Structure 1
Amino acid sequence: MDDVQADLSADLPAEDAKLVTLARATRARARAAEGAAVRDLDGRTYAAASVRLDHLSVTALEVCVAMALSSGSAGLEAAVVLTEGDDVDVAAARDFAGADVPVLIGRPDGRLHTRSTT
């Protein structure tokens, strides 16, 4: 991962700011550990929260990838993950969309701190 530690929240393009808003709202509504949002190659957005059950554990980004894939999407243009931790597994996004898809990582309040890629 190509990590850059800084406050990346300022001066985000409107499309990426929308992903942050969706990820933040979805995480809060579900009271989940993570929230994520992705934009596919057609400009459609998908937002999800992480799922933690006894027999099912899925990250928010994995849920977003599954939603996009099951909706007929051909790939991803960008992703945002909001979480308390710093370690975000982008393997599912890479499997689906390939290398070099930008992934912005931030805190639950929407402050972004890391720009990474799949």
Structure 2
Amino acid sequence: MPDQTSPAGPAVPAAEGELTAEDAKLVTLARGARARVGAVEGAAVRDQDGRTYAAATVVLPSLAVTALQLAVASAVAAGATKLEAAAVVTEASTLDGAGHAAVRDLAADAPIHVAAPTGALLGTVTA
């Protein structure tokens, strides 16, 4: 589960079946983005119109972008001004601070669901 003292803010422990169908779709999209390129992380976000954007971590010699940063950037590039929710699929035990900050730039309270590569929900960051 995301670290309760990480820069990502407090995490709410996951309960089985806690995700709505729309949020479960975000986890599925994030898993697919991660698996498609064998990335460390995959992420997906949903904007104010219900459109979804998925991305995987990018690490190049001249550029490093987290999956969540890239998903948020894709949403903004398509015209999104607010996010309803986000999901990150990762092997890490914490949510990265840069991705968390990118989501918070568009939504102060959108849930960020953190899931294991299997899709099992580890926790939800709400702050």
Normalising to structure 1: TM-score of the pair?
A: 0.91
SS in 1 for 2:12: coil
Give the total of aligned pairs: 116
> Given the alignment of the two structures, is residue 108 of structure 1 paired with residue 117 of structure 2, yes or no?
yes
Normalising to structure 2: TM-score of the pair?
A: 0.85
Gaps of 5+ in 2: 1-8
CA distance in 2 between partners of 1:103 and 1:12 (Å): 11
Identity %: 53
Match of 2:33 in 1: 26
Runs of 4+ in 1 over 3 A off after TM superposition: none
CA distance in 2 between partners of 1:38 and 1:9 (Å): 21
- 1:18-46 per-position Cα deviation (integer Å, ceiling 9, x unaligned): 11110001100010000000000000000
> Given the alignment of the two structures, is residue 86 of structure 1 paired with residue 97 of structure 2, yes or no?
no
Q: CA RMSD in A?
A: 1.3
Contact residue 30 and residue 54 of structure 2 kept, 8 A: yes
84-93 vs 36-45, which moves further: 84-93
Contact residue 41 and residue 77 of structure 1 kept, 8 A: yes
Contact residue 39 and residue 45 of structure 1 kept, 8 A: yes
- 1:51-85 per-position Cα deviation (integer Å, ceiling 9, x unaligned): 01111110000000100000001110000001010
Gaps of 5+ in 1: none
